[in-house]
Amino acid sequence: MPAHHYELATQHDDPELRRLLRENPFAGSISLSLEREPNYFLASATEGTFHETLVVRDTKTNQLVGIGDRSVRPLYVNGEIKDIGYFSGLRVDSKYQHGLALARFLGKGWEGQREQHKDGRAKFYLMSIVSDNNPAQRLLDSKLPHYPRLHHHTHMYTYAIHPARPKKESKIKISRAASESIPAILDCLHRNGMRHQFAPHWTEETLLSPLTPGLSISNFFLAPSGSRIRGCLTLWDQQACKQTVVRGYSGNMARFRKVINLFTPLPEPGTRLNQCFACFLAVDDDDPEVFSALLRTLYNEAARLRYDYFLLGLTKDSPFHSIVKTYRPITYESDIYLAAWEDGFDDIARVDNRPSAPEIALL
C-alpha cells in the first residue's frame, strides 16, 4: 500500500486546509503565511472561473499533509483570449519538506494534478516561485516523474507600499468610477490587456461578481479623456477571505531590520497585515504621468483608509519601476514559470515576447 494518496478536497476538509496554511509559511527573506479565514474555499473564486484543490493524505493516519490548487481563467495570450491554468497554494507539512522525502511526496501530488489535467481545461499553467527559495526552484524544475516541465517566463516584483501620509494631488485629473463607467473601464482593460501576456480578461458579467469578492465600482480610479479612459488603477481589499501574516525574517532582511525600520516600518512576526491590492492596472501608451497620478491617488486613498500596506505587482518589463521606488516600498521578488506536460509544450513555444502583466491580486 502506498504511503500517501491524493483526492480532491471538499468542504469537510476546510479546518485541515486552514491549519496547513497557518503552520507552513512561504520561506524567503520575509516569511509569510498566506491564510484563508474563515473558510478556505471562500477565496477560490478570485483564482479562476474553474477551481479545485487537490490534497495528499497519509494513508495510515488519513492526516492531510499537503495541498495544491489548480484553477483556470481567461487571459490574454498573443493578443487573444485563452483559458490558461494556474498552479498555486502548494503547501507541504513540515515533516516532508526536506530531501528525498519531499521529492517523493511532491511526486504523488503531481501525479494527481496530471490526472486532473486530463480534463483538457487548459494546455499549460502559470506558476509563481519565490526568487530566493532556491531549493524549491531546483526541485520543481527537476524533471522527476509526474512533474510538469517548467519554462521560465518572467521576473515579478511585488511592492509593498506603506501609505504614511497623504501626498499632494496630481495635476492630472483622476476620478472615482461609477456604474456608468463600466463599459469604458472594460474597453481600457481590453486594449491594454491585448498588448500584454497573461493579463486577465474581464467582461460585464465577471468584473463585479462572485469572482471579485469585496470589490465595488467605487474602488476604481480613472484617468478620463473625454468619453474614453486612458488609465485605470483599483484598490481591492480581499481580507474578508484572504490574509497575509508575517512569520519571520531571514538573511539581509533580518540583519538590517533596524536600519530598514528607519525608512519603512517592518511588522513584527505574527502580525496580520492590514493590506489591500493596487490592481486592474491599465495605462494607454504606458504614459508615466498618468500612472504616477493614478498611483498617488490610490496612495492617498489607502492612507485615508489607514491601511498598513498596499501591494502592487510589476514584471521586469514594466516601465513604471522608477516611479514606484520613489515610495520606498518593501520589495518581494518571485519568478513566473509556464508549466506543462507534453501536450502543452507547443502552446508554450508559441507565446511571443510582448511584455507580461499577470495580476498578483489573482495569484
Residue 270 has pLDDT above 90, yes or no: no
Q: Which residue has the higher pLDDT, 319 or 103?
A: 319
The band of 2, judged by pLDDT with boundaries at 50, 70 and 90, is low
- How confident is the model over 271-309, as pLDDT tens digits? 898 999 999 999 999 999 999 999 999 999 999 999 999
> 89-93, 220-224, 263-267, 337-341: which range is least confident on average?
263-267
**What residues have CB less than 8 Å from 328, skipping those under 6 apart?**
162, 263, 264
DSSP states of 43-73: GGGGG-SEEEEEEEEETTT--EEEEEEEEEE
d(Cα 125, Cα 111) in Å, to the nearest integer? 15
What is the pairing mode between strands 50-58 and 4-8?
A: antiparallel
* pTM, 2 dp: 0.91
Residue 99 has pLDDT above 70, yes or no: no
Instruction: Based on the fold, state whether residues 319 and 349 are members of the same structural domain.
Output: no
Give me the residue label for grid cell 491590492: 277
Burial grade of 224 (CB within 10 A; 0-12, 13-18, 19 or more): middle
Residue burial 7-29, b: 16+ Cβ < 10 Å; e: rest: eebeeebbebbbebbbebbbbbb
Q: What is the mean pLDDT of the chain?
A: 92
Kind and range of the H or E run holding 236:
strand 228-236
- How confident is the model over 224-259, as pLDDT tens digits? 998 899 999 999 999 999 999 998 898 888 887 888
Instruction: Based on the fold, state whether residues 164 and 296 are members of the same structural domain.
Output: yes
Instruction: Based on the fold, state whether residues 70 and 217 are members of the same structural domain.
Output: no
Give just the sign of the alpha carbon dihedral 199, 201, 207, 212.
Answer: negative
Instruction: Based on the fold, state whether residues 57 and 132 are members of the same structural domain.
Output: yes
d(Cα 2, Cα 42) in Å, to the nearest integer? 32
Q: Is 351 left (phi over 0), alpha (psi -120 to 50) or beta?
A: beta
Helix, strand or coil, per DSSP, at residue 287: coil
Instruction: Based on the fold, state whether residues 292 and 345 are members of the same structural domain.
Output: no
d(Cα 148, Cα 138) in Å, to the nearest integer? 13
d(Cα 205, Cα 39) in Å, to the nearest integer? 25
Amino acid, res. 293: A
Q: Which residues pair with 58 in a beta bridge?
A: 4
d(Cα 34, Cα 157) in Å, to the nearest integer? 17
Instruction: Based on the fold, state whether residues 87 and 217 are members of the same structural domain.
Output: no
Helix, strand or coil, per DSSP, at residue 85: strand
Peptide bond just before 38 cis, omega within 30 deg: yes
Instruction: Based on the fold, state whether residues 78 and 182 are members of the same structural domain.
Output: no
- How confident is the model over 147-184, as pLDDT tens digits? 999 999 999 999 999 998 889 888 899 999 999 999 99
Instruction: Based on the fold, state whether residues 197 and 320 are members of the same structural domain.
Output: yes
C-beta separation of 95 from 136 below 8 A:
no
d(Cα 64, Cα 331) in Å, to the nearest integer? 33
Amino acid, res. 53: T
Residue 87 sits in a domain whose CATH number is 3.40.630.30
Q: Which residues pair with 162 in a beta bridge?
A: none
Instruction: Based on the fold, state whether residues 339 and 297 are members of the same structural domain.
Output: no
Instruction: Based on the fold, state whether residues 37 and 180 are members of the same structural domain.
Output: no
C-beta separation of 266 from 247 below 8 A:
no
Kindly report the number of other CB atoms within 10 A of residue 258's CB atom. Answer: 8
Q: How many domains does the chain have?
A: 2
Instruction: Based on the fold, state whether residues 196 and 109 are members of the same structural domain.
Output: no
C-beta separation of 107 from 6 below 8 A:
no
d(Cα 275, Cα 312) in Å, to the nearest integer? 11
C-beta separation of 245 from 267 below 8 A:
no
Domain with 271, as residue range(s), is 160-333
Instruction: Based on the fold, state whether residues 267 and 253 are members of the same structural domain.
Output: yes
Kindly state the cell numbers that stand for 183: 463599459
Amino acid, res. 185: I
Kind and range of the H or E run holding 18:
helix 14-23
